[in-house]
Amino acid sequence: MVEDDAGKGRVVYISFSKKNPGQRFKAMRLATERKMLPVYPGIVSDLAQVDAAKDKEARDKERWEQIKKSSEIWVVGEISREMAEDIELAKRLAKRIRYFEPAQADADLKEIDAASAKKERFF
């Protein structure tokens, strides 16, 4: 449900674990319901259906450029090492950071506080 027009036209960067890539679609739906434009790592590759066989440095640069251009960052699910890097950059850039986890029905996401966000095992 759309809360209001506060997010209208804003860009939100979605950081998610490679272990749960499907969560990005839930976050994209939520962002568009809030009238925000979602971006995430690999969006260009996904849209063009191109194999994104880039080295880590090139992928990192692409992610960081997306974060710099975003109004806020949404951290979805358990935090991986790569997501932790996204969070640190967002903090340095004074971006708003919001944390989400799957709701009990697993069809939606619910917002949680930073202290409740879990890290991936072996992180």
pLDDT band, residue 92 (cuts 50/70/90):
very high
Mean pLDDT of 106-112: 82
If you average pLDDT over every residue of the chain, what do you get? Answer: 83
Question: What was the pLDDT predicted at 7?
Answer: 66
Would you say residue 77 has pLDDT above 50? yes
* In a domain? residue 54: no
Query: Which residue type sits at 119?
Result: K
- Could you tell me which residue, 94 or 44, shows the higher pLDDT? 94
* In a domain? residue 55: no
* In a domain? residue 106: yes
Percent of the chain at pLDDT exceeding 90: 52
* In a domain? residue 87: yes
Task: State if pTM tops 0.85.
Answer: no
Would you say residue 11 has pLDDT above 90? yes
Question: What was the pLDDT predicted at 112?
Answer: 94
CA triple 73-43-108, angle to 5 deg: 55
* In a domain? residue 18: yes
Question: What was the pLDDT predicted at 23?
Answer: 86
Identify the domain containing residue 26 by its residue range.
Answer: 11-49+61-116
Question: What was the pLDDT predicted at 9?
Answer: 76
* In a domain? residue 35: yes
